[in-house]
Structures are given as structure tokens and as C-alpha cells.
A and B are shown apart, each in its own frame.
Chain A
Amino acid sequence: MHALNRRSLLLAGCAASLISVAPSASAATKASQGRKIIVIILRGAMDGLAALPKTDDPDIRAHRAALIDAKAIPLSDGFALHSAMPQLAAMYKSGEAAFIPAIAGPYRERSHFEAQDLLECGGVKTVSDDGWLNRALQKAPDAYAAVSIGPAQPLILRGAAKNTSSWSPAVLPEASDDTLNRLMELYEGDPVLKASLSSALGADAVAGGMDRQGMGGARGGPGQFLPQLTAAGKFLAQPDGPEIAVVSLEGWDTHAGQNGALQQRFTALDAGLKALKDTLGETWKKTAIVAISEFGRTVRINGAQGTDHGTGGLAILAGGAIKGGRIHGDWPSLKSSALFENRDLMPTVEARSVFKGLLRDQLGWAANDLNGPVFPDSAAVKAMDGLVKA
């Protein structure tokens, strides 16, 4: 073991964009005090009513009898969790998980792409070039950093703040340090490539010991859930690791034959959350996770044993810092007259209020910044109280 290898010397020249090599303060003295937030984007619109059916709602069977898991695990308040997620159910029962069953952002159309962009940029109608987590980093109470898992930087982290990075494992031979040095020089006049390369080198130093198998496919699919969540855990568990991680889990757009597809995905998500908990170790106690989709799905089954794009959806909260064992927000009921446009679950909680609540109570953002630059024109959307333990 060298105290300083050539690569870390190389990195010293570009410390501004590193996530962990040049920490400004140790975890103990930082404003975060070791607390973490993980945002999991469930892309494609997860069917919340399949994940967490309100089994005592008198109308649920009429709408979607064939889509209700008969073995769902009863939780509380008439809700049950799909039987493919026993470990998440255990977290709920031990006070480390909570659910928001009828949540949506301000968007009321049904385009995946537009809805995901708005979820990530934190806007109401128009999509901006930067994400709300990036704008939050610019206003952070301390030198916070964020990492995204996967080969592409998601919109939620893009923007002017450069203390962001993305990571997925290498499958090809690495370039020599000398080549890296020359390339850094070559990128001197190219801000985009320079920032990405220096950030990549920093991320690689952290992940050095990580298992590089098992993440072969670069894109989506339930096979990626566990390795991606494990990678996020490794980053956050590092001493001086970033405060925030973003993970995208794809493949939730279940227009047809959804029972089988969801069985697979719920199983993978459950195993992934458990692996995340194990990888985080002690850090789990100070971690708050929110998993959310761009919108929900139709309450009624469609003609193909699936569901179509809807409105109100489910957010999953987990982690040792979460005030668990509870359901947040009112249940809007499944009476046809109570549905949004007579087809979708009516949302009762605004997604931005949850993001604001987490940023404020978990990592100390100021209310003014949350209402202004982080989520523009959102003063009317109050930060949600009581999401995390004091």
C-alpha cells in the first residue's frame, strides 16, 4: 500500500470537482453530522396500488380484483404490502419504513418523459436544464456532495454545482496514469469533458475495492436493482462520503401482464433495499431514503391485465432516520366519483413537500432556499413535517 499513489497525486490538481478526495471537513464536524439522503427514481410509473393495496377500500375489488396480491402482508390502517417485499414490511414494523400512498407532483398530464423531467427539475410546468438536487447543492448548509449510480448523469443532479459525480463499474482495461494526465491537459479548454473526467477519476478512487461483477448491463432492469443500490450504499458509507445518492431503477411501465412483471421487480427492490441497509452498516441509522415514480397508474385494470398512465402514486420511505411504521397523507378513496378524471388515484400529498421536508429536517436546508431557488415558486407547498426522527 502506498500512502499516495500516482493517481491520487493526479487528482490533487482537480480537487474542486471531486466527491470525496478533498473533503472540507470530517463527517463529525460537518453540518450533516453523517446524515444521508438517497433518492430512488422508479422510472416508468410504479403501480402503487399493486405495491401497497388499501385492502379495506370497498371499491378496490371492483376496479382491479385480478391485480391484488392475495398474500399481501397486512401493515396498518387497512394497507397491506405486496408479498414479494417481506423485508420492507419488516422495516415498516420495526419503525424504519413509512409510505405515502397518494402522492404526485404538480404535473397532471400523462407523459412519462415530461413527468420525469419535471419530477427531477422540480418545476411546475416548464422543464429547466438543471435538477432540484443540483440547485439544492448550490445552497447547501455545508460542502455537501452527491453521487448518482449509473452511466448517465440524471437531470435531477445536472446543473451548475459541480460537486456531483456518477459511477458504474468498468468492464474494459484502464488507461495508464500518464495517459490520464495528458488527457486532463488536453481537456484544459473543454469544461464539459474536463469536469466529467476529473469527477470520474475521483469516483473511481472511492469504488476501487468494489465488486465489478454483476453489473454487466449498463441499462435498467430488475437485475440491476441490487448492484446499483449496493453501490450507492458503498459510496455513502465511506468516511467523508457524499451526503446524497441518486439511483434510477427502470422498468415499471406495466401496460400488460403486470402481475408477473411486478412480482419480479418488487422482489428485486426488496432485496436491493435490504442489501443497501447491510452495505450502509452504521450509516443506515442516519439515512433517509425516498423512492418515487413520475406518476401512478390507472386504478382500473386495462384490457391487457395491466394498467395505464395515471396520477396519484406511492412513495416509499425507508432508512434508520425515517420515522417509520406510519402512513402519511389522507386516503382519497377509490369511489369512482373520488378518482381524478374518473380514472386515477387522486393525489393528497404534493411530492415537493416531501422533498422539502427531507432536505430541511434531514440535512438542514433553510426554508427560504427551498421555497426559492431549489423549488421555484413553491412557497404554497409547505415542507412536510414528521418524516424523519429528530
Chain B
Amino acid sequence: MSRLQGAIAATRFGLGARPGEIDAASSDPRGWLKAQVRPDAAVIPAGNLLSVKQVFEARIDAYQDMGPRGRPPGAPGQGPGQGNVTDEALRMVRQQVQRETRDGLAEEIDARSRHAASTPNSFAERWLRFWANHFTVAARNAQTIGLVGPFEREAIRPHVFGNFQTLLGAASFHPGMLVYLDATRSIGPSTQAAQRRDAGLNENLAREILELHTMGVGSGYSQQDIIEFAKALTGWTIGTPQLARLAGLGGGQGRQAQRAIRAAAQEMQQAVGETVFVEQLHEPGARTVLGKSYGGQAKQQAAAILDDIALHPATARHIATKLVRHFVADQPPPAAVAKIEAVWKKSNGHLGQVARAVVDLDEAWGEQSRKFKTPEELLVSASRAAGAEAAFGRDQRAVYTSLAQRPFSAPSPAGWPDDTASWSGADAIKKRLEWANAVSRRMVRAESPTEFLDQALGPLAGARTRQAVARAESAEQGFTLALMSPEFQRR
């Protein structure tokens, strides 16, 4: 019985058992999980990976000698100017930057996969992945591709066992989120900067924070609340050398004004790639969101609203439901949701306490595995059970792409779906089978398929699966059947 609980700890709460892990977790399964709830348990060393600041600096360096025409794509600033750079040269630099950011993303995916395959703290890593998906920033174009990795490492990993307020603030104001949800393009409509540029408000970030990150759709906020919140968020943007001029920081004309612009530009140079507040882009005045007025200092407005909606009861309900869906079943049992919601409210959204409460949900410890693995979960669990080389082969990205779930590439701000129906269609199963077949060819080693099955699933493997794997006509076929078994496809 206790080995079954150990197997559940390693597969349902963790990312799948590595050899020996089920036995290690079996003496005290809940304690084994709770020991992973530490403030820094999801932090990984940056190694050679770039920080978001370095990503922006590298982009600006590449364009440095290009004059006003060499404006990085997506950076706020002036339109194409009259520089003497040829189109050819500009195109070369753009291609170079694109290549480098693509390579950077590949390194991020590698590092993330390697960590997931080997970490002993796989509950902490699953918890991190839940929150990274909750606050999706996806690689969808040249601007976002370099930001997704730094976003997860800088805004999400350090905060997943702290207060939700802190996590929400870190995610909402990170340059990755500001770019992904168009906040860098949003300018207070009545500011001079907006009138000069014929630019204005963009609601995207405000809407998605309310709809996806906190309260949830249909939970009582209105279109007017979105607009007000979007106005409060104006002014928050990313430092670039051009920003000083854009915001009209010096104001006025003449030599003195020019000097002021230059000084401000220098200051901005220091803040390249950092989130900055530019009051000249901020919609002035008090804002009313969900019936509460936010006056005070412009710079504090958005943070104050975020702090309040983080603690809104609808947020507790929305996220408790998502957590129970992730750890218990596609149809979250209301009693389990209520338990998590209560702990959330009592602890003001302390995610460490919430994580421990999730471990203590009796509903999550049933013998029947009800959660169908997403492709990424399947690949990670296979890499933990069989080794990353066997699970991925030579072309890791091709495998992710074929199974329709490339890391950092969720199709929308809502993130990847977390239910069986989204991932179990006919074609998805066919792709999984083709993958399993390729993996089994790479798994020729001392271990037999039955031993592999026992190490990977322990008592979770049912009699029918044990028999099918034992009777396979070859070791290769046995591995394929084990990987494709209903038990290994679920957690």
C-alpha cells in the first residue's frame, strides 16, 4: 500500500519516477513531497543563459552602428529615419539577431528539459510548470522569442512558493509579459506623448490579468474595469535609448531641452532591458477599478490594483479550481476546491502553504490515475524513467513539435490546456505511438521491459499492462507497450 502511495507521489505530484524514486518516496510519501516546498526549490542556475537585460543589450549592440534606421524590431522609438545604412546591411543584422535569439531559445529548452529529467525535486518543478503555464509568455515572434526563457527564470521560478501577490507583481511587470501582452505599446490616451504619436491605450495586459491570471472570466469585473486598469498600467515600459525622446522627457525646444533629452537618454541607456516607469506615458488622474478608487502617486497605482485583485475572493476560487483540476481531475471535485480556497484565503495566497494543502488533498491520492499526461509531461516522465537520450533522440525540438507541445510556445495567453480531451484525439495518440516506437529502439539496454515498467510505475501498473509487457515479442515491443500503456499515459 505504501509503495502505491510512493508511486502516486512520484508520478501524480512529481514529474514521473526515476529508477529507485518510488522506493525512496514510499516510506513517507507526503513528507517526501512537502520537503520540496522551500522558497528556492524551483530556482535553477542561469549558467550561460542570458538575462532579459542581456537579451535587450545584445539586440541594441547589434544595431548600434546603424543610426536611427537601426531600430530593433518592436522597440519603441522613432520610425525609420534618414540614416545612410543600406537595406542590405540592415537585413544582415536583423537576420543575425534572429538567429541568435532562436539559438538562445533552443538553449533555454535544453536547460529546462535537462533539469526536469534529473531533478530530485520534481514536485517543485511540476509546481513551477503550473505557474509558468498560468502566467504564459509564449514565443510567438521575433520580439518575444528571446524573452520567454528569462521570464520564467526571473519572474516565476523565485516566487512560486512565496506570496501570490509577489508572484503576480513579478510576472505582470517583467519585460517579457509587457512585450507579450502589448503593454509596451499602450500609452495614456490623454498624454502629450500619445497625441504626438497618434497612439493610445492597449487593453490586452489588463484584460488577461483579470481574465486569466487572477479573477477569471465572468467573475464580476466589467469592460470599464479593464479600461481603467489598462490606464493605470500605462507608463510601465522597458528602458531603451529611444525612450527618452519618445516620452518627451526633456520637454520644450531649444538647446537646454536638447541637453535634458540627452541626459535622460543616458539614464535610459542604463535602464536598457529593465522595467521602468515613465510618467509622461502614464494616463494622469485617479482610477476606479472594481468600485475602489486609486489616486495617489501614479507609479503606485497599478501595483496597488494588482495587490487588491490578488486577494480578491474570485482569484482564490479561480486558482483553487485550476490547481485541483491539475492535481486531481479534469472535473475538479467541489469539496477539494473548497479546501484549497480556504487555505488560500486564510494564508492570503501564500503559495507554500497552498502547495502543502494540495499534497494533503485526499482526493489526489486515489489509485485510479485520472489525469492524462500532456505531451510535455509524457516526454519528461519518459526521460526520467528511460533517460533523456532515449526519450528525445537527437532532435529534441522535432519531438516536441511532432507531439504538438513545444516548450515556451503555448498557442495563446491562456496557456496549454489541462484536460484529457484536448490531448487525446486520434492524431495525438498516433503521434505518441510513433514516438514510443522510436524511443523503444533507443532503449536497448540491460534492463528488461518488465523491470522498466516496475521502476516507472510500480504498483500503478495494472495486471493487463504487466501481462502485455511481459508477453511482448521483443524487448523493443515491450518498451513501446509500457510507454503507451494507459497507466504511463496518465499520472
Contact = CB atoms under 8 A, between A and B. Distances in A.
A109 B424 contact: no
A230 interface: no
B437 A166 contact: no
B424 A193 contact: yes
A113 B412 contact: yes
Contact of A219 (B200, B409, B433, B438): B409
Contacts, number: 172
Interface string A287-319: 000000000000000111010110000000000
B242 to A, nearest CB: 16
Contacts of A190: 486
Interface residues on B, range: 35 or more
Interface in A182-207: 182-183, 185-190, 192-193, 195-197, 199-201, 203-204
Interface residues on A, range: 35 or more
A173 B436 CA distance: 10
B414 interface: yes
Contacts of A250: 411
Contact of A304 (B199, B223, B422, B472): B199
Interface of B: 182, 185-187, 189, 194, 199-204, 207, 211, 217-218, 223, 372, 398-399, 401-404, 406, 409, 411-412, 414, 420-431, 433-438, 441, 464-465, 468, 472-473, 477, 480-481, 484-486, 489
Contact of A129 (B414, B421, B428, B477): B421
A3 interface: no
A145 to B, nearest CB: 12
Nearest to A248: B411
Contact of B427 (A183, A200, A302): A200
Contacts of B489: 193
Contacts of A150: 427
B425 A186 contact: no
20 contacts: A113-B412, A168-B427, A171-B398, A173-B434, A173-B441, A175-B433, A175-B437, A180-B433, A183-B433, A186-B465, A188-B464, A196-B428, A203-B426, A204-B430, A218-B404, A219-B404, A219-B406, A303-B186, A304-B186, A341-B223
Contact of A189 (B372, B433, B464, B477): B464
B412 A179 contact: no
A110 interface: yes
Contact of A172 (B182, B402, B486): B402
Given A173-B437, A182-B477, 18 more contacts: A112-B412, A151-B403, A151-B428, A152-B423, A153-B425, A153-B427, A166-B427, A167-B426, A167-B427, A172-B399, A193-B489, A200-B430, A218-B404, A220-B411, A255-B182, A256-B185, A256-B202, A341-B223
Given A200-B429, A256-B185, A304-B182, A151 B412 contact: no
Given A151-B404, A186-B486, A192-B424, A110 B182 contact: no
A165 interface: yes
Given A187-B486, A218-B403, A151 B427 contact: yes
A189 B485 CA distance: 11
Contacts of A255: 182, 185, 202, 204
A188 B467 CA distance: 13
A175 B425 contact: no
Given A179-B477, A196-B425, A197-B429, A308 B203 contact: yes
Given A111-B211, A255-B202, A303-B187, A196 B437 contact: no
Given A114-B217, A153-B426, A218 B434 contact: no
A193 B441 CA distance: 23
A389 to B, nearest CB: 33
A172 B438 contact: yes
Given A129-B421, A303-B194, A197 B486 contact: no
A56 interface: no
Interface in A70-121: 109-114
Contact of B435 (A44, A110, A172, A303): A172
A245 B123 CA distance: 41
A175 B465 CA distance: 18
